[in-house]
Amino acid sequence: MGISLPFKKKENFLAIDIGSSSVKLIELDRRSGTPKLVNLAMAPLTADCFANNSISQTEKVSQQIHAILEANSIPAHRVVTAMPGPGVFTKRIKMQLMEMSELSSYIQMEASNFIPHSVDAVRLDYHVSSEIEHDQMDVLVVAVKNEVVDSFIESLSLCGLETAVVDVDYFALQNMFEMSYPEEVSKTIALINIGSRYCSINICCNGESLFTGDLALGGKAITDALAEELNLSIDEAEKLKRKKDLDKPEFDAAREIIARNVDYMASELNRQLSFFWSATGSEGGIEKIYLAGGASLTSGLDKDLAAKTEIPCEVMDCFRGLDCGDTFDQNYLKEIAPFMSIGVGMATRQPGDRIIPEFE
């Protein structure tokens, strides 16, 4: 899934995931068999780089990307990047069955009836479900404001990179999940990426996204609480949050702050999941929750969310479906995996890989 530009030539794209607190780079070799991890890197970004889901400091972001490429001796590539969930509008619509050759023009003409923006102000794409009922087809329409897309493309262009595919973080995470956990694809799964400033949620089953949404809550809230209540700098609070020995007596106050905020985050996620699931109109229920994103590593979050939702919950391993060889340290990969999940999903993209069902 995703917003794509169709190219015929087979090639491996360099995935660059630009988040609100860091930029992540992933390159896979997909020429044969299991995808092989070729390059992996991450660098921090300052809080002022984003404003209203757009990159406000394109030169600063470009400099960080250039530094990563140079430090890892990575030559210029065409790249795939992804739009942040809060900057993306998605809507499922029922449409009269029609030829695929007619669908694009129809959506372009009718888009103003189901998106809250001027058609001229957005990039539009769509995904067609394979399900048909009473000569109608289910279509997922995706719209992103031009200013958001352009800010990402400009940041990449400034360091000499050409953007070939623009994905969406919801669907990049789903692509990663389907590659890494093929045995779970037939189940109804909630994929939750918990970043610095927001959570993106994608409820999916059998390769179809049933509902996407986001929650303005992320790991930064816990960092800010630690900084404010313990009189720490943001950097000190972030390091404290990620300590692995928080069970020591000297960290009692920090543990209480983290536990309180984790409880609130789990409660909010539980509430949103219930609301999102009701919105799908589907029968049954969510069978499992998978977490990704740096904040998914916050102590106790997976267990607290499982307890509140009464649904099994675990942190995803985005490298599970890859051949990582002997080049990369396995302990480092385990530590960094939650941060790289969307990037791995982006790196699975290839030119013209959007699947358009054939209807009889």
pTM: 0.90
Domain ranges for the chain: 1-85+147-180+318-360, 182-315
pLDDT score recorded for residue 7:
37
Per-residue pLDDT tens over the stretch 288-338: 999 999 999 998 999 999 999 999 999 999 999 999 988 899 999 999 999
Decide if 203 contacts 286 (C-beta within 8 A). Answer: yes
DSSP structure class, residue 317: -
pLDDT score recorded for residue 355:
56
Q: Is the pLDDT of residue 140 over 60?
A: yes
Dist. CA 139–CA 104, nearest whole Å: 11
Burial (CB < 10 A; 0-12, 13-18, 19+), residue 249, is exposed
pLDDT score recorded for residue 1:
46
pLDDT score recorded for residue 359:
45
Q: Is the pLDDT of residue 4 over 60?
A: no
Dist. CA 95–CA 305, nearest whole Å: 37
Whose structure tokens read 């599970």?
Answer: 320
CA distances from 72 to 76, 271, 288 (A): 12, 43, 37
Q: Is the pLDDT of residue 225 over 90?
A: yes
Using DSSP's 3-state secondary structure scheme, residue 17 falls into: strand
Report the DSSP pairing between strands 88-96 and 36-44: unpaired
| pLDDT tier at 132, thresholds 50, 70, 90 | low
| pLDDT tier at 356, thresholds 50, 70, 90 | low
Structure tokens at 96: 């009269």
φ, ψ for residue 177, nearest 5 deg: -60, -45
| pLDDT tier at 358, thresholds 50, 70, 90 | low
Which secondary-structure segment (H or E) carries 322?
Answer: none
Whose structure tokens read 């990449």?
Answer: 156
Dist. CA 203–CA 212, nearest whole Å: 6
Asked whether the domain spanning 182-315 has the same topology as the one spanning 1-85+147-180+318-360, the reply is: yes
Per-residue pLDDT tens over the stretch 150-203: 999 999 999 999 999 999 999 999 999 999 999 999 999 999 999 999 999 999
pLDDT score recorded for residue 136:
84
| pLDDT tier at 106, thresholds 50, 70, 90 | confident
Assign domain 1-85+147-180+318-360 to a CATH class.
alpha beta
CA distances from 350 to 50, 73, 87 (A): 28, 23, 23
Q: Which residues pair with 288 in a beta bridge?
A: 189
Dist. CA 26–CA 35, nearest whole Å: 12
Residue 281: CB atoms within 10 Å: 9
Mean pLDDT across 106-110: 85
Q: Which residues pair with 39 in a beta bridge?
A: 27
Residue 40: CB atoms within 10 Å: 22
| pLDDT tier at 6, thresholds 50, 70, 90 | very low
| pLDDT tier at 130, thresholds 50, 70, 90 | low
Dist. CA 17–CA 7, nearest whole Å: 21
Report the DSSP pairing between strands 22-29 and 14-18: antiparallel
pLDDT score recorded for residue 126:
86
Per-residue pLDDT tens over the stretch 61-99: 999 999 999 998 888 778 999 999 999 998 888 888 888
Helix 234-241 to helix 219-230 angle (10° resolution) is: 110
Per-residue pLDDT tens over the stretch 259-294: 999 999 999 999 999 999 998 888 889 999 999 999
> Which CATH superfamily groups domain 182-315?
ATPase, nucleotide binding domain (3.30.420.40)
Q: Which residues pair with 40 in a beta bridge?
A: 26
The 36-44 sheet, strands edge to edge: 3-4, 162-168, 78-83, 14-18, 22-29, 36-44
Average pLDDT of every residue of the chain:
89
Per-residue pLDDT tens over the stretch 15-57: 999 998 899 999 999 887 899 999 999 999 988 999 989 999 9
The residue among 138 and 4 whose pLDDT is bigger is: 138
